[in-house]
Amino acid sequence: MKQLFFSLCITLIATFLLGCHEEITYTYLMQHPRQLQTILDECQLQTTSYCDEVHRAAKNFAAFVNERAENPELFGQKIMRVQQQLVLLSRNYLQAMHDGNAEKIQAAKQAYHAQKNQLKILYAVIVDTSQRVLGGEG
């Protein structure tokens, strides 16, 4: 009886955990190149709007990889500019919060999150290309 209960608990936990995954969006794919490659492989023979988005993400990620390969210093400077912009956007958000203007708060929040996502994408390029250079997978 205890074994049955234990098995049932494990099954329920596993089901719950499998259901709690991030939505697979363009931004998610750009930040997770391994998943992008896996899904891209699955989309090779499909022509759905979802697969079009996957192909667009793959093309854009490859452009970032090429950009880093061609001029690593310039790519690093790009990351620093995005980081600086993120600091400014954070200040704008805090100022909007202080002012209490709901529209400005929402706009500042959206701009901050968009910039943060851009930074995560650039970091994903660094991680992905570093793993390739080092010959590792993770």
| Other C-beta atoms lying within 10 Å of the C-beta of residue 69 | 13
* Domain ranges (residues) in the chain: 24-134
Which pTM does this prediction carry? 0.75
In tens digits, the chain (138 residues) has pLDDT values of 555 454 444 444 444 433 444 578 999 999 999 999 999 999 888 888 899 999 999 999 999 999 999 999 999 999 999 999 999 999 999 999 999 989 999 999 999 999 999 999 999 999 999 876 666 554
Encode pLDDT of 26-60 as tens digits: 999 999 999 999 999 998 888 888 999 999 999 99
Q: What is the per-residue pLDDT for 131?
A: 77
CA angle 59, 65, 68 (to 5 degrees): 145
In the structure encoding, which two tokens stand for residue 27, read together? 């931004």
Contact 58, 40 (CB under 8 A): yes
Classified as helix, coil or strand, 68 is helix
In the structure encoding, which two tokens stand for residue 129, read together? 């290309």
Give the position of tokens 């023979």: 45
In the structure encoding, which two tokens stand for residue 49, read together? 């709007």
Q: What is the per-residue pLDDT for 44?
A: 86
Cα 95 to chain centroid, rounded: 27
